[in-house]
Structure 1
């Protein structure tokens, strides 16, 4: 597989994933739909993350259990924070998980030819952060409910 490095010029949005097989995401977000930070892997991608960049929350897990896909959208609020030695980094966020009927299902996005090459489909097990190109993020925004996309800077 070709290495597809992320560049700021073609970054539409960061995509962070949460695995509902490991954590009860439905219960967690029913109690509090806000996400103010999430784990990211140290590396060049994390070092590209800056306040104001759009971020998408992708829920994943065993198919059939929950309506997986895009569950929320928001903004990065600062540079990732290095964890203790051996611990994950975290990135500060201003992101709210959408009410369940407003979430954009994986099947719908997978069927959109404009999103066929998205990293989340090509490499679903890749570490956070993943990303969407400018064109892929524009395609995703066409599936979001009106008023649920971040303000473009």
Structure 2
């Protein structure tokens, strides 16, 4: 029997691209007003579910204001560059992040995957129910 997959297209609300500012500088992205246009992702069943047009949230970890810093869309199919799988995105950044403290205080969001498995490789995800709770809180880009 194959292992159970937590992410399905039916359950998907949005992909979550995580950025550790200790490894990837936020300064150029903040100056540009958007996340970089391509992110390394794990080559696994999740990467095979990624489709252009799907929602994507930009999660900044290892930062005093960790949380969702932007929201956008997948802009193309994942492809290999420099021996690693990358996904193209367009993610405008918010003027102010939606912090992890705010999110974790809301019923139904404290169990988001980025809280349960913060070290997991990109992409992470939120389900449709979680996205419905997050969407009204997202600041304007």
Q: TM over 0.5, yes or no?
A: yes
TM superposition shift of 1:105: 0.6
The aligned residue for residue 122 of structure 2 is: 128
State whether residues 47 and 79 of structure 1, in contact with CA within 8 Å, keep that contact through their aligned partners in structure 2: no
What residue ranges of structure 1 are gaps of 5+ in the alignment?
A: 149-153
Matches within 5 A, 1:31-70: 31-34=31-34, 35-61=36-62, 65-70=63-68
**Superposition misfits of 4+ residues, deviation over 3 angstroms:** none
How many residues are aligned here?
138
Q: Where is the helix percentage greater, Structure 1 or Structure 2?
A: 1
Matches within 5 A, 1:1-150: 5-25=6-26, 27-34=27-34, 35-61=36-62, 65-84=63-82, 87-99=83-95, 101=96, 103-145=97-139, 147=140
TM superposition shift of 1:22: 1.7
* TM-score, normalised with respect to structure 2: 0.90
Q: Distance in 2 between matches of 1:123 and 1:130?
A: 9
What residue ranges of structure 2 are gaps of 5+ in the alignment?
A: none
Q: Distance in 1 between matches of 2:74 and 2:21?
A: 22
* TM-score, normalised with respect to structure 1: 0.83
Query: SS at 2:57's partner residue?
Result: strand
